[in-house]
Amino acid sequence: MSRTPTPSGRRTGRGKDVPEQLGFDLMPERLFVCTPSKLTAYADCPRRYRHAYVDRPAPPKGPAWAHNSLGASVHTALRNWWDVPVERRGPEALPRLLRATWVREGYRDDEQERAVYDRALGWLESYVAGLDPEQSPLGVERTVAAKTSVLALSGRADRIDARDGEAVIVDYKTGRTGLDADDARGSLALALYAFAAERVFRRRCRTVELHHLPTGTVAAHEHTPESIARHVSRAEDTARDIMAAERALDEGADPDEAFPTNPGALCSWCDYRRVCPAGADAPNRDPWAAIESTVPTAVPHQQHPDAAPSPTTP
């Protein structure tokens, strides 16, 4: 881990102090390099953050989650759909795209995987039927970046639309529950994307949208400069907490004290539960548990007419 100058101007770590006359007091604080997901990981649970971003080597993760596989598959298919030549950019392009980048990990068995594939293809076909294929977005899985006095922030937005001269942040969701405007308003990631996109594209970016593919609904919120600033300020506070924890660790603090646990409902879904005593009491979840309510097992497998061969076919 890097050693940063302390406020007193003395470098710590490895037991070597640096004399103050070298002028470290005058050096600017190093910016905290981060993505929204890195900040959210710490806000959710500092210990989980430590395992994911600080511990090297990182502890082994648990098995892959089917819902993550589904989310990744759908996101990649939608990204690649925009790369299809515009004259062929229709729903008929989707089976090939989804099949080509389908992620197979985490499903209970082939039958469940096929049912989920068919359901996902249905979501995608309904979704793109509502898009104008000739209206290419400003960016698709586009990385945007910005700096503040504390943060060197970057993040990859699923889609950034150009509408009425403004940039609009679009985030795809494939989870089981629908989302509302409060989810869009409260999303740190969406607000930070808007903050960064406004700088990158040099155009107003205040509207953020969650597109929930299973229900075909859109949860939108229009930020104000003040609400964006509140999110940025919150992100900076989290970054300061992380930097303080990392500094404490660097100076010899107990890792479990520098990065405390935050046990709760998320523990059941935590990749590091097996190495965290605080997660031991959380209910155990199968890797496909979140999928079961997305695609109930009672739903018989129905091969979509366009879906042959299925993704489970080698």
CA dist 130 → 38, 81, 83, 109, 301 (Å): 33, 14, 17, 32, 26
Piece in contact with ligand SF4 (CB under 6 A), picked from 178-186, 221-229, 264-272, 301-309: 264-272
In the complex, the smallest distance separating the C-beta of residue 62 from ligand SF4, rounded to whole angstroms, is 10
> Contact with ligand SF4 (CB under 6 A): which of 34, 45, 93, 200?
45
Check: CB of residue 43 under 8 Å from CB of residue 238. Answer: yes
Residue 102: CB atoms within 10 A of its CB come to 22
At 151 the three-state DSSP class reads strand
Other C-beta atoms lying within 10 Å of the C-beta of residue 307: 19
* Of the residues 169, 208, 276, 291, which one makes contact with ligand SF4 according to CB under 6 A: 276
User: Interface with ligand SF4 includes 262 (CB under 6 A)?
Assistant: yes
**Among the residue ranges 15-23, 138-146, 181-189, 258-266, the one whose residues contact ligand SF4 (CB under 6 A):** 258-266
To the nearest whole angstrom, how small is the minimum distance from the Cβ of residue 87 to ligand SF4?
Answer: 48
Chosen residue from 263, 291, 294, 295 binding ligand SF4 by CB under 6 A: 263
Tell me if 267 contacts ligand SF4 by CB under 6 A. Answer: yes
47 touching ligand SF4, by CB under 6 A? yes
Residue range at the interface with ligand SF4 (CB under 6 A); choices 23-31, 117-125, 241-249, 256-264: 256-264
Tell me the CB-side half-sphere exposure of residue 148, using CA atoms within 13 A: 20
Q: Rounded CA gap, 213 and 171, in Å?
A: 10
d(CA 171, CA 152): 22
Q: What is the rounded CA–CA span in Å between residue 106 and residue 70?
A: 9
Q: Which of residues 118-147 bind ligand SF4 (CB under 6 A)?
A: none
Binding site for ligand SF4 (CB under 6 A): 45, 47-48, 261-263, 266-267, 270, 272-273, 276, 278-279
